[in-house]
Amino acid sequence: MIKVKKFGVVPYAQTFEAMQVFTKERSEQSCDQIWSLQHPSVFTQGLAGKKEHLIFAGEIPVIQTDRGGQITYHGPGQLVIYPLINLKKYDLNIRSLVTLIEQSIIKVLHNNQIEAYQKCKAPGVYVNDAKIASLGLRIKRGFSYHGLALNISMDLSPFKQINPCGLISQKITQISSLSNCSFKDIEEQLLTELLLGLGYKLEIISTILDSSLDTHSN
C-alpha cells in the first residue's frame, strides 16, 4: 500500500530534511508515501547547479539540495509532489519514473484543455515553448525522493531572477493563464494519475486519497 499526505504550505528546508530522514530510515518493507504540498518562496539549487544561473536572489532564500538539475523556484500556488517510493516495487528506474511523472502531468493538462509536451533533453513539461512543470529527483538505495513542481496559480516574477533549470531566457507559464481550474482539482487529478501510473486501481485510489485527509499521520 501507499500513503498520500497533504501538508499544505511547508518550509522547504524542513521538508528536505524530512525526506532525507524518511529515505535513510526506511526499508524494503516500509510503506511508500507521496507528499503533496506547497512551499513558501525559495530558490533551490540542484547538484548540477551553476552560480551564474542565479541572477538575483533578493530577499528569497537560496537552498542547496541533493536532487538532480539546476536552480528552480518554489512558491505558494505551485503544486509540489514528492514520490517517496521503492522503485523496484513498481519495476521502475530513474528514466521511467521521470517519464511516468511527465506523462501524468501531460494527461492532467490535456484533460483540462491544455496541450502540453515533453522535451528529450530538457526534463519537465512545456506548453507553447513555456515551461509549466519542473522535475528534480534523487535515488538512494533504490528509493526516490524530491519530485515535481507544477505551476498552477502563483506569482511567476521570481522566475525572472534565475535561469530556470539552467535554461537561459526560458519562458514560464502556469495553469491559471491557460484554463480555469482550482488548485484542489488539479492536485486530486495529478495524484490520481500518478497512482494509476504506479498500477493502483481507481477504487483503491479513492480510498488512499480519502485517507490522506489525516495530514499529520505517520
Selecting among 31, 120, 165, 181, the annotated active-site residue is 165
Give 78's strand partners: 151
Check if the beta carbon of residue 63 is closer than 8 Å to that of residue 12.
yes
Q: Are strands 130-140 and 71-74 parallel, antiparallel or unpaired?
A: unpaired
Quick one: 180 exposed, middle or buried, by C-beta within 10 A (0-12, 13-18, 19+)? exposed
Residue 165 annotated among the catalytic residues of the structure: yes
Core vs surface per residue 44-66: b (16+ CB within 10 A) or e: bbbeebeeebbeeeeebeeeebe
Phi-psi region of 134 (alpha: psi -120 to 50; beta: other; left: phi over 0): beta
Q: What is the DSSP string of 112-146?
A: TT---B--TTS-SEEETTEEEEEEEEEEETTEEEE
C-alpha cell of 203? 477504487
Q: Which residues are catalytic?
A: 165
